[in-house]
Amino acid sequence: MLVQALLKTKATEGVVTVPSSTTVSEVAKILAEKRIGTVVISDDGGETAMGILSERDIVRELAASGSGCLFGTAKAYMTTNLVTCTSQSSVKEIMSLMTEGRFRHMPVVEEGKLIGIVTLGDVVKAQLMEVEMEKDALAGMIMGH
Task: State pLDDT tens for residues 43-70.
Answer: 998 889 999 999 999 999 999 999 999 9
Please check whether residue 76 is in contact with residue 50, taking contact to mean a CB–CB distance below 8 angstroms.
no
Task: Note the CATH number of domain 3-142.
Answer: 3.10.580.10
The span from the CA of 13 to the CA of 65, in Å, is: 35
Q: Please tell me the predicted confidence (pLDDT) of residue 64.
A: 95
Which positions of the chain have pLDDT values less than 70?
Answer: 11-13, 145
The span from the CA of 22 to the CA of 26, in Å, is: 6
Q: List residues bridging with 107 in a β-sheet.
A: 117
The span from the CA of 28 to the CA of 53, in Å, is: 10
Break the chain into its structural domains and give their ranges: 3-142
Task: State pLDDT tens for residues 126-137.
Answer: 878 777 777 777
